[in-house]
Every structure is written in structure tokens, then in C-alpha cells.
Amino acid sequence: MEIIQPAVQPERAPRKASEPLDAYLSKMGNNLVTKFHVLMRISQIYDSKNVALKQFTQESLQVINALIQQAGALSLKVVKNDLYLNEQRLRYSVEGFTSFKYLITQWRKRRIGEIFFKGLVTEEILKEVIYLLMNLEEGGEENATLFNDELARRDILMIEASPLETFEGEEDGTALRKEDQREVGKKVFFETVGTIKEIITKIKGKQQADVRKLKRLAQKAVHLVMEDESILLGMTTIKNYDEYTFNHSVNVSIYSLAIGRHLGFSKRILTELGITALLHDIGKAKIPRETLNKPGPLNGEEWNLMKKHSLMGVEIVLNLKQLGEVNPRMVIGIFDHHLKNDPSGYPKLFRKKEMGLFGQIIQIADAYDAMTTPRIYKKVPYTPEQALAVMLKEKDGQFDPLLLKIFIGLVGIFPIGSLALLDTREVGIVCKPNLDPQWMDRPQVLLVARDAKGFVKKEVVDLTEKDGNDRFKRSVVKTLDPNKYHIDIGKYFL
Ligand SMILES: [Fe+2]
Ligand SMILES: [Fe+2]
């Protein structure tokens, strides 16, 4: 049998000594998924002789072969709605979301669960793999076998596909609907983060920003929050401090929508609230990045500029033409979001002004998200519980007591994302609060267990569940600080 040697030697992309293996795999994995996405798409448009395809295949080879060299083999696998690279689940970046989605959908449609590379790959082999894969008939249960047979016919024996595994509950309509909603939630979340980023970049570059998309996304978010608020609330635990301003705006919007929903707002008002919250810090687009990300305390001049961001935000929003009719509520919400009863609030006013409802809601959401997110100048954030305690202690009633009560009720005594120790000695992450005031201390919890690679997901349990003797099967003993256990909570909500 002819042994095919790689035409292009892999570009060595060795892991730096200082870079942890997880981080390396995650970065390379995201890169790999993007490459697969583009290759799969190109193959739908061009034939295998196309020049664009040739060039892109060569680029992709470098990533694939570097990974194969690193670990001796490469396995890319779809499990439920996740992707695993060499058995490690890949977390996607904001930019990578579309590629992940595309790859998972296309493989699932073709009932392919895994592609395993046992040796280095050449340009010709990679093209064969991609075209064979994309030409498989959708829904074909024998596709993995067909694919392997076709590869064998071409003497390509170092690549092997396995069929998609189906899991308990997947065939069940309700489980699927929930799963679908979760997928929509992820999509809305990441698209919104991306859109905010785009808008801020446009404003920084003094270009016209298109905000129609933001409006559509806010409508989708309202819809989701009305259906099941825990889906989007869970996403707020994805704390990414490199992208602080973008993630923060989206989180503040999710919390605000959940509060607004409990106040009984109509869909129209909720959408306005959602947009206002998304744009509450838009004025920061006018503040230099160095000031925003300064690790130490701000000097007088920098602080004075920072305090102008609510007012600058008002100015920007009034100039966003595509926002359509801007309701005064929205402008006032942005203006108010740092007003306080004491001199630390801003902007400074000549006459005392009552805060509007939008501003009050956003202020609560803003404070909670800021405290629970790691920042460049405060790498270890408050746990959800500690943040709520600080907010409750705020002097002079900075937060409206009724709104704060709603917020605490909504995130629960054990807010979503809290790490909890149970009386069964199990450890879990609170994933859905119990909205029944009587059972606020009995949320739904995703159990996690420690194995060699860290904490892995187990099942979701409901703490209201009882045993045969009418006793609760599990109760929370206390919450734990995830930072101490090196648990990245956001990971479990993806
Ligand atoms: Fe702000
Ligand atoms: Fe903010």
C-alpha cells in the first residue's frame, strides 16, 4: 500500500512552556473548528480544484497537523451540543460561536459523531475527507461506515469516523425543546455580545453604528426571558474579563429584563428596558481603553472623564438614528444609572432629581454584575452571595428596597452560579432558582464531581425532591467560593 507523505510540513506551533495545556488546546481547538467550518462551506460552493480551497486547505493543515503532533492523534467529537477535542470539551470564544454551531449542526445532520486522525494529513487527504463528509446524505444511519469504506477505497486508513451517539431524553420532545431554547439562548447571548462590540468599535471610529440588529436581539431576549429566565440568567456567569464592557452590557440587560418581567412590564416596555441596559455604558466608547483598563486607581483627570460616561451615553443614543423613536424613559435610564443619594453619585446636579425606574433597575443589575466579575484591578471577584450581602448593606438606601428584594428573589438566596455544598457531601452549581418563596432555599442544582481533569458535570437535581420517608433528598449546607476550588462557573452553562 502506498504511504502518503504530507506535502506541507506542519508549522510548528508548539505550546509555550508557560502556557497551560488546557489553554493551548482551547486556543488551537477554536482555530481548528473555524478552519473546519470554512472548509465545509467552501466545499459546498467550489469543486476540489479551486484555488481558494487549495490555499485554505494548506492553512488548515498547519493547525490539524500541529495538533496531531502535539498529542499523537486528533479526535474531534460531537457530544450532544458540545465539541470535544481529544476528550476535552472546547469552550468557544465569542468569535468562534458561528463556527461551532455550523460544525455541530452539519455533523449531527449527517449522523457523524467523531472524526479521528491517527497520523499526519496531506492536502489531498483533507480535501477527500471534507468532500466525502459533506456529500453524505442527511439522516443516513450508516453514514459513518460508508464514510470509512470510502476512505479505505482511497487507501486513507489513518482517518476514521464514528456515528453520532444519541443520549437518553434526546428523542423526548420536551428535552429537545429545552435544549433548543438553550441553544437559542446561547446564540442570542453571543450575537448580542458581538453586536455591542461592533457598535462600540464603530462609535470609537466615529462611524455610523447600525443598531437595528441590537433591537432585534433585545426582542429575542425578551421572548426568552418570558419563556424561561433561567436560561439567559445562567449565561451571565460567563465572566470574561478581556471582553468586560461587552459581556457586562449583555449581563446587565439580562438581569434588568428579569426584574422588569417580575414587575409585569409589557413586551414593548421590556424591549425598551433591554436596549437601554445594553447601551447603559455606551458612553465609555468615548473613554480611552487605557483608562478603562487601568490596573491601578484612576487619577483626578481620568476619574473626571470616567464620570462623564452616562452623559456621553445620552448624547450617543440621541444620535443613533436607526434606533427609531427613542422613548425618554431610555435616555433617562442611561442618564440616571450612576446617580446616588450621596456625593459619590454622578453626574452632579444642581437640584436633587428622583431616579427613573429604568435607572434604578439598571443600577442594581450593574452593581451586581460588576461585583461578581473579575476585573483587571480585582482578579478575585465577590461570590454571588457576597455581592448580594454588600448590596443589602448599602447605606442611605442606594438601591430601591423593593427592586432589590425582587432581584434577590429572582437570583435566589442561592443565586444562579453559586457553588453549593450539599448534605450528601455532593457539590453542585445552582442552575435554576426556585421561584416559590416558600422554597427559595431549594433551587435546582447541577451536580459536579471531581475527576483527574477537574470538576465534571453530572446530573441536574431538584432540591425539593423527597425520599420515601418524606425527607428532602438533598439540602444546601453552605455555599463555597468557586475561586478557591479553581472552578470556572461560566463553563458549566455553555
Ligand atoms: Fe456605567
Ligand atoms: Fe455598567
pLDDT in tens, 423-433: 998 999 998 88
Strand 82-85 and strand 74-79: pairing?
antiparallel
Over the stretch 359-407, which tens digit does the pLDDT of each residue have?
999 999 999 999 988 877 777 888 887 888 889 888 666 898 889 988 9
Structure-model confidence comparison of residues 179 and 81, the more confident one: 81
User: Residue 296: what residue type?
Assistant: G
Burial 212-238 (b: 16+ CB within 10 A, else e): ebbbebbbbbbebbeeebbbbbbbbbb
Q: How far apart are the CA of 361 and the centre of ligand 1, in A?
A: 13
E strand segments, 35-182:
74-79, 82-85, 88-89, 112-117, 159-163
Calculate helix-pair angle for 244-262, 401-411, nearest 10 degrees.
100
Q: With 70 as the cut, is the pLDDT of residue 12 above it?
A: no
Ligand with the closest atom to the CA of 278? 2
Q: How far apart are the CA of 279 and the centre of ligand 2, in A?
A: 9
How high is the pLDDT of residue 176?
55
Strand 454-462 and strand 444-451: pairing?
antiparallel
Q: How far apart are the CA of 309 and the centre of ligand 1, in A?
A: 7
- At residue 15 the predicted structure's pLDDT band, cuts being 50, 70 and 90, is low
* 425: Cα separation from own chain's centroid: 29
Give CA separation, 84 vs 1, 7, 78, 100, in Å: 32, 28, 6, 11
| Whether 143 contacts 163, CB under 8 Å | yes
Distance CA 91, CA 81 (A): 12
Return the SS3 of 74: strand
Ligand with the closest atom to the CA of 368? 2
Q: How far apart are the CA of 288 and the centre of ligand 2, in A?
A: 16
- The H or E element that residue 299 is part of is none
When pLDDT is averaged across residues 114-139 and rounded to a whole number, the result is 92
Q: With 90 as the cut, is the pLDDT of residue 436 above it?
A: no
Residues with CB under 5 A from ligand 2 (ion): 281, 366
Phi, psi of 448, rounded to the nearest 5 degrees: -125, 150
Burial 459-494 (b: 16+ CB within 10 A, else e): eebebbeeeeeeeeebebeebeebbeeebebbebbb
Q: How far apart are the CA of 282 and the centre of ligand 1, in A?
A: 8
Residue listed under C-alpha cell 426568552: 224
Burial of residue 72, with CB atoms counted within 10 A of its CB: 0-12 exposed, 13-18 middle, 19 or more buried: exposed
Q: How far apart are the CA of 197 and the centre of ligand 1, in A?
A: 16
To the question of pTM greater than 0.75 for the whole model, the response is: no
Q: With 90 as the cut, is the pLDDT of residue 341 above it?
A: no
Tally of CA atoms within 13 A in the half-sphere of 168 that contains its CB: 1
Distance CA 370, CA 248 (A): 7
How high is the pLDDT of residue 115?
95
Q: With 90 as the cut, is the pLDDT of residue 308 above it?
A: yes
Among 15-29, 285-299, 475-489, which range has the highest average pLDDT? 285-299
Return the SS3 of 72: coil
- At residue 3 the predicted structure's pLDDT band, cuts being 50, 70 and 90, is very low
Q: How far apart are the CA of 483 and the centre of ligand 2, in A?
A: 23
